[in-house]
Structure 1
Amino acid sequence: MKSEYLKYALRQLEALLRIPSPTGFTAQVSRYCFYEFANLGYIPTLTQKDGVLVCLGGGENPILLGAHIDTLGAMVREIKPNGRLRAAKVGGLQASNAETENVTVHTRGGKTISGTFQLENASVHVNGEYDKIVRTFDNLEVVLDEKVKDAAQVRALGINVGDYITLSPRFSVTESGFIKSRFLDDKLSAAILLTYAKYLKDEQKQPSRKVYVDFTTYEEVGHGGACIPEDVKEMISVDMGCVGEGLQCDETQVSICVMDSSGPSSRAVVDGLVEAAERAKVRYALDVYPHYGSDADVALRAGHDVRHCVVGAGVYASHGYERSHIEGLANTFDLLCSYLD
């Protein structure tokens, strides 16, 4: 991966992470991606579910590269009598690692109000049971950065049930190349696919196959990839690669998922990806992910007759404060280039 494309990918990643986009609250990030593709000279479309679909050119045997731009988050479930907010999670957000995070409440009127997720009665010097309490979204609350003491004062700010609550991503890149942030799942992959689109334009390359890119907006709640173009023969979900005990992948590699919770990936696609990785001297890992699902699984359940697989840069601490590496980003980009070019 040329350094200019790595820098572009990191710029896109930071820009995407700055736009809050929990499932159902994705209009702003979708329009950002729409205009980025348009500025590169493509003709994107916005789907009915606020996704972004674009064809990058090419010939026969159409393939779709899918990534999701929705993230985890929360929603106001109750305005408590003491002026705090009870939240309902959106997607797989875990209460135990949402605690003490800075958040923003987005009202229907367009206001943004900051706050913090805290355990009820969060002062250790007051709560003698603090370290024994199992954190849930029933005992976690949003403490607003406003002088409010009751529900009426909170409603006067414009806050109501159904307002979205977003968490600060805390994006950084270390000198050693580690990328740390919430929501690398899956904005890292979206940045890689934007970079692939730029690479094709800059290098004046035409893919030998017709290539679609599909940025979905409901993956975190299980129905992002249900609708894809009818001519697609193959779908690769470019999503996060899992890093953890019992797995081969680390943050510097690209993962090729041979089986997830829905069953095996298409053997022909896996074999083709492995051949492409070895041809390009890409560092990759083959892994089985028993607790993992993707938009490719959703497309298959929706009845689409497509070959499929999942690839992605290794990401540690999924659905929490996640970590990858610029080498994982580069290996994923190089694998896609080798497989498609």
Structure 2
Amino acid sequence: MEKFNVQNVIDTLEELVNIPSPSGNTEKVIAAVENQLKPLGVKMQRNRKGGLIVTLPGENDREHKMITAHVDTLGAMVKEIKSDGRLSLTMIGGFRWNAVEGEYCQIETSEGKEYTGTILIHQSSVHVYKNAGEIKRDEKNIEVRVDAPVTNANEVRELGIEVGDFVSFDPRFQVTDHGFVKSRHLDDKASVAILMNTIQLIIEEQRKLPYTTHFLISNNEEIGYGGNSNIPPETVEYLAVDMGAIGDGQATTEYCVSICAKDSSGPYHIGLRKKLVQIAKEQNLNYAVDIYPYYGSDASAAIRSGHDIIHGLVGPGIDASHAHERTHFDSLVNTWKLVYHYLFSK
């Protein structure tokens, strides 16, 4: 039986994307990851930022590896409760308002109450607003229509909704007959699902890693600092597993594992990049080396925070990043295999 069973990753991914977790509100999804890994008997701890660190002992305990994927996602917060009962928003993470226009959403109050809604431009009705298509999609015009009988700000507040409440986007997870996975938040829950199944596979095989390895499930990557702390001083190599960006001029596809040579932070470590390429070649993986022009990762955040480490970045190719994302089974498997064989490399 193929040990890289993609259905295991898909099942984990579906569970994760259906747990709202915009940056700053990730307790539920971190707990879900923790609960799934707990039966494996692995060493786990939370950092003060709320991320989860899993450590597997290796033959060499003097030099460590660290590998990370982030479970936090894009989202929003209530910025203002308008006089007509609609909510204005402020972004969490980097996306464009047009990418969420028309999306169903969920508002979570500070007391834990949940309400559904729809993200719309204020001037939605073409029967009322002649220039509806020309209106700028921005913080001023985009708002949430709450699915509750409210017509003014006081009625909204009576529901418990206040400024600062988190708003998450409906993922609309779907698997197609041709092996595509469509969902919001494949960035980076696809990689988290891969790491979780990698840990499980290593435990089931009872294989000892060549180096003690820390798996960080970070929870603040979308706002820039998820993986910049809690890096043990023994750490030599630090690999971020995050999406590979697809678009004009990019080599990455929805079927390959993407190996990043450079992003907006600058080049990744050439030695580790060459090592990853060599592993991909040896394992006959479909891979692409690429440059992401407008991108940063937990690995680049770690470098910026002053850690003396070798850093790298790989991930599944994901189309329409930070919008209506899509990848393919092949990309998930190629990424999983590269991560697995990297962990056993010396």
Range of TM-score over shorter length: over 0.9
2:173, 2:183 within 8 Å by CA — same for their partners in 1? yes
Q: Which of the residues 281, 290, 301 maps onto 1:298?
A: 301
Following the alignment from structure 2 to structure 1, what is the Cα–Cα distance between the partners of residues 72 and 251?
A: 27
Following the alignment from structure 1 to structure 2, what is the Cα–Cα distance between the partners of residues 296 and 339?
A: 16
By how many angstroms is 1:320 displaced?
0.4
* Unaligned stretches of 5+ residues in structure 1: none
Following the alignment from structure 2 to structure 1, what is the Cα–Cα distance between the partners of residues 40 and 311?
A: 28
Q: After superposition, where does 1:79-90 map in structure 2 within 5 Å?
A: 79-90=81-92
Please name the residue that 2:14 is paired with.
14
By how many angstroms is 1:3 displaced?
6.2
Q: SS of the counterpart of 1:10?
A: helix
By how many angstroms is 1:288 displaced?
1.1
By how many angstroms is 1:108 displaced?
1.1
Structure 2 counterpart of 1:41, one-letter code: G
By how many angstroms is 1:121 displaced?
2.6
Following the alignment from structure 1 to structure 2, what is the Cα–Cα distance between the partners of residues 292 and 2?
A: 34
1:5, 1:199 within 8 Å by CA — same for their partners in 2? no
Query: Is 1:271 matched up with 2:274?
Result: yes
Query: Is 1:5 matched up with 2:5?
Result: yes
Please name the residue that 1:35 is paired with.
35
1:5, 1:195 within 8 Å by CA — same for their partners in 2? no
Structure 1 counterpart of 2:50, one-letter code: D
By how many angstroms is 1:203 displaced?
1.4
2:83, 2:152 within 8 Å by CA — same for their partners in 1? yes
Q: After superposition, where does 1:46-57 map in structure 2 within 5 Å?
A: 46-57=46-57
Which is worse superposed, 118-127 or 250-259?
118-127
Q: Which runs of 4+ in 1 moved over 6 A?
A: none
By how many angstroms is 1:4 displaced?
6.4
Q: SS of the counterpart of 1:59?
A: strand
Normalising by structure 2, report the TM-score.
Answer: 0.96
Q: SS of the counterpart of 1:246?
A: coil
Normalising by structure 1, report the TM-score.
Answer: 0.98
Please name the residue that 2:103 is paired with.
101
Count of residues in Structure 1 that have an aligned counterpart in Structure 2 = 341
Following the alignment from structure 1 to structure 2, what is the Cα–Cα distance between the partners of residues 222 and 88?
A: 17
Q: SS of the counterpart of 2:189?
A: helix
Q: SS of the counterpart of 1:318?
A: coil
Following the alignment from structure 1 to structure 2, what is the Cα–Cα distance between the partners of residues 146 and 232?
A: 51
1:279, 1:338 within 8 Å by CA — same for their partners in 2? no
By how many angstroms is 1:31 displaced?
1.0
The two structures, once aligned, show a CA RMSD in angstroms of: 1.1
Q: After superposition, where does 1:168-207 map in structure 2 within 5 Å?
A: 168-207=170-209
Identical columns (%): 41
Which is worse superposed, 2-11 or 39-48?
2-11
By how many angstroms is 1:296 displaced?
0.5
Q: Which of the residues 256, 268, 292 maps onto 1:289?
A: 292
Following the alignment from structure 1 to structure 2, what is the Cα–Cα distance between the partners of residues 3 and 175?
A: 22
Structure 2 counterpart of 1:179, one-letter code: V
1:34, 1:45 within 8 Å by CA — same for their partners in 2? no
Query: Is 1:244 matched up with 2:214?
Result: no
Q: SS of the counterpart of 1:48?
A: coil
* Unaligned stretches of 5+ residues in structure 2: none
CA offset digits 1:55-86 (Å, max 9, x no partner): 12213231111111100000000000000000
